[in-house]
Structure 1
């Protein structure tokens, strides 16, 4: 491959730490505990989230509630604990307050005791403030907004008067914990900065919520926990953000349910520490979507280029994002154990400065930069991932796949193990950083199904590649500056099924220490897209049949069925008796093919041309042990 300018940290020896984070939220006093740093996280442990009864219970005792009627420019209070002055309502005590009616230019202020819990029931209420937050919880231990009916609207002014720059800063703003529940609807217009914000924990367990904000849609400084609800969020900044960067036990987001439709100028879901998704349906467009790609100005690979001199790879720098428009983003780590995702992002669709761990879920990704990026470690243990557009599909210092179904379309590398920070930005991907080879970088594939369509390398590791299981199909580059398989250290294949086709100039076979036998074939001329390559045993049964979707001049084949001492026949062309899956024959037979040569496998790596003559296996050196006949 042509070594392109990537994003790398200065070369450091960093102790490897495993993140361990256990957090509680949704109680009257959420707390969390964490250790580790984003630069060295190699795993992501789940956040333990508990939603309290008061968070989930949207009922109230009408006989003990204070009823408040908004009358355009005046307010009527029936009951205790609250008072009004003109168009301003002030709640002084704990209790339940049912608000209905409309105030055209006023405010609801909560100024209760530090340990008070205040429930505000919005029962067809509309509150507009021309110069401040419409609902301002100045003091209370927790404020619960219960949506009892549809038609609740809250709107602030574009410029605040008599306030500091930081607070209040949202149409609904709380200095303490804030919970939203109920089955009603709420429409929030944040003209000043944010839509809904709290300096502590934000918990949402229900409601049909629409937010249109100049800056962030939902912001919980210490945490955000959502278990249910319907959300339509339009934000000039981030759609959801938890931004506490002073306490490593805070700044987390947990999505445990709900349906989200998001259009964000910057990030979709952003956590300062951990972003966790266990359930939910999330559709988002960030930064104008992948059509507004951040890779427009990236340096392009030059066909025929060579590897960088390792002596020049000892200096590297880091560039930070000038504007981030990622889909899911976290500084410490991202853990996804379920959910359905549709992400159209101009920047990385899923990004962590630490680790990303995907256990399950369904993903439809279109990215203007990387599909999934993790600085430290990327782990896929399940789920269905379809990346229809990306610069690089999956990228991290370490990539491990044990299960799941992955389809990747990338203009550069499909899977790329190259450590360091991702410095992508909307002003163009940083392109001045040199790149290094590091034995700690690796790609490990132990299971799952991976299909790659790459403009650069199909699988590229600046360290090692280990394949012990799974099915890997590569429709690789058509230019000779890249290859279907590219590694700088070792490539050990001990299991799995491989069919990796692409250009021949930089093509590599697996390493000679592999336990499973492999075959690299280089053709003298390019083969047309869709031309099937078939390897059959001495009984004529297909061991492998693969029809690459792009023109190709090399192919790597490896299967547990390829045995040393056995003779196989290599053929091209023909048709299959059953429908191919991603170009691969999964059952049936091939007819009408043209025999090229017979091969007797006597070693674990065989590198030949289509006539059976030994050839060099590119940067990995000549093949070992195959005896053409």
Structure 2
């Protein structure tokens, strides 16, 4: 896509309403979800060093694995670690596993120094008991963990991942970790799953990264291909948990279900995120985006704020699909976001607030969905927002917005046509090239002010618009059916 921002044409700036990086970091700590993100990662989570002299070495080899420590039990190709400490692993197992079975007060670090472990019927690494386990990849090393396609019970726990942990789990390092899950998930923690550094190539039949209490990513590079969610957090016992927090990193996801799915909050503060294929791109009961470079492609909704832990977030069983869901919202205050959705581009079962950043939505071509869909209040107070899609279910922002918005209907315009807005002095305020055909356009940026005249060009359609009020254009479905206040129609 070709795009320019407001004022000086810089796509990295949202004009006078933009927030700085420091302001974004401050803002995410006071998000509406109530989750404090100021202390998500401990120093130990980020520490990738270790003292070799104080570490225990384990050499993996089929039927010949060896270790000199009494804290390591070797039974054929099953290696069990029973005490706190740092353990350096190297070598290969064609059909084996490493088990951590320590005291629940013990912290255990597994250092992977060129490891290949295949478990044909279980997890390659299984944390049965510990306070917390750290899996660290050595700089320059390549490590591969694989499940063979089935999981056979070895105890009372339902092991269903290549790396399966009953306790807190942190992945970090400077090496490469490849995880292949022919069945089940790639990585599962039944507490918090934290990733702070390293390179990860993940292929899984089900979820890629899954945490019961949370998934937290500080940095690192991730290539995730899954049959279900790329990143998943779900806690049915505590509604305040089951959240995802992305503070940075480079994340590339191809999913058959959601790119990221959080039962509670999804918070993105920074990083480069590309969801190249998904059913729904980013989903959570609440979604806060304060920074980052985000590109989402979905066959249904691009961003979806909805409760529940099903695969779509869709309410069935005769429920009112236009009802406001308590506690649900989307808030975008920073970052650059591109959405290409076959369903709703941005869909909130509650409120929608845009206060900064740049958001570009290529919405649906079918009239059963819209580029914008909210059931509560839809407010824009800052930033850049452009959307193009079908006009059958169009919805504009509400008249409680404090930044100018215009929504127009046009004849069908081809994919690849340019949408641009100029002021009365012919200064270009915003320009964007769409990637799908469209009949409805929504534009908002800080330079749109009440009482001024503008020219909006969408493909071969040009319209002169006088902003008699801050809101121009009324979505047919907006106030009447979606629950939001009906915007004013300028005439």
Aligned ranges for residues 552-591 of structure 1 at < 5 Å? Answer: 557-558=466-467
Q: Quote how far apart the aligned CAs of 1:364 are.
A: 1.5
Q: Which runs of 5+ in 2 are unaligned?
A: 1-28, 307-327, 413-428, 432-438, 471-486
Q: Alignment partner for residue 384 of structure 1, among 351, 358, 369? A: 358
Is 1:244 equivalent to 2:197 in the alignment?
A: no
CA contact (8 A) 1:451 1:472 kept: no
**1:42-91 Cα distance to aligned partner (Å, 9 max, x none):** 95455324311111111111111110001133311133411211111000
Q: Quote how far apart the aligned CAs of 1:371 are.
A: 1.1
**TM-score (structure 2 length as normaliser):** 0.73
**1:200-259 Cα distance to aligned partner (Å, 9 max, x none):** 000010010111000000001110111010000000000000011220221011000100
Is 1:375 equivalent to 2:366 in the alignment?
A: no
CA contact (8 A) 1:233 1:239 kept: yes
Match of 1:395 in 2: 373
The structure number with the bigger radius of gyration is 1
**TM-score (structure 1 length as normaliser):** 0.58
CA contact (8 A) 1:385 1:406 kept: yes
Q: Distance in 1 between matches of 2:490 and 2:198?
A: 64
**1:350-377 Cα distance to aligned partner (Å, 9 max, x none):** 1102100001011121101111111110
Q: Distance in 1 between matches of 2:399 and 2:43?
A: 45
**1:100-150 Cα distance to aligned partner (Å, 9 max, x none):** 010110010111111111110001111111111111101111111011142
Q: Aligned residue pairs: how many?
A: 394
Q: Alignment partner for residue 362 of structure 1, among 336, 342, 345? A: 336
Provide closer, same or farther for how the CA distance between residues 551 and 55 of structure 1 changes in structure 2, counting only shifts above 3 A. Answer: closer
Q: Quote how far apart the aligned CAs of 1:183 are.
A: 0.7
Match of 2:322 in 1: none
Q: Distance in 2 between matches of 1:357 and 1:176?
A: 32
> Structure 1 runs of 4+ off > 4 angstroms?
42-46, 163-166, 448-456, 482-485, 495-498, 543-548, 619-623
Match of 1:259 in 2: 250
Match of 2:475 in 1: none
**1:437-484 Cα distance to aligned partner (Å, 9 max, x none):** xxxx9453312676767679xxxxxxxxxxxxxx999xxxxxxxx998
Q: Which has the higher relative contact order, 1 or 2, with Cα contacts under 8 A spaced 6 or more apart?
A: 2
Provide closer, same or farther for how the CA distance between residues 96 and 454 of structure 1 changes in structure 2, counting only shifts above 3 A. Answer: farther
Aligned ranges for residues 169-188 of structure 1 at < 5 Å? Answer: 169-188=160-179
**1:517-550 Cα distance to aligned partner (Å, 9 max, x none):** 69xxxxxxxxxxxxxxxxxxxxxxxx54455545
Q: Distance in 1 between matches of 2:183 and 2:85?
A: 30
CA contact (8 A) 2:174 2:199 kept: yes
Q: Distance in 1 between matches of 2:156 and 2:298?
A: 30
Greater displacement, 203-212 / 150-159 = 150-159
Q: Quote how far apart the aligned CAs of 1:190 are.
A: 1.0
Provide closer, same or farther for how the CA distance between residues 443 and 517 of structure 1 changes in structure 2, counting only shifts above 3 A. Answer: closer
Match of 1:47 in 2: 36
Q: Distance in 1 between matches of 2:490 and 2:211?
A: 58
Q: Quote how far apart the aligned CAs of 1:165 are.
A: 9.6
Is 1:60 equivalent to 2:47 in the alignment?
A: no
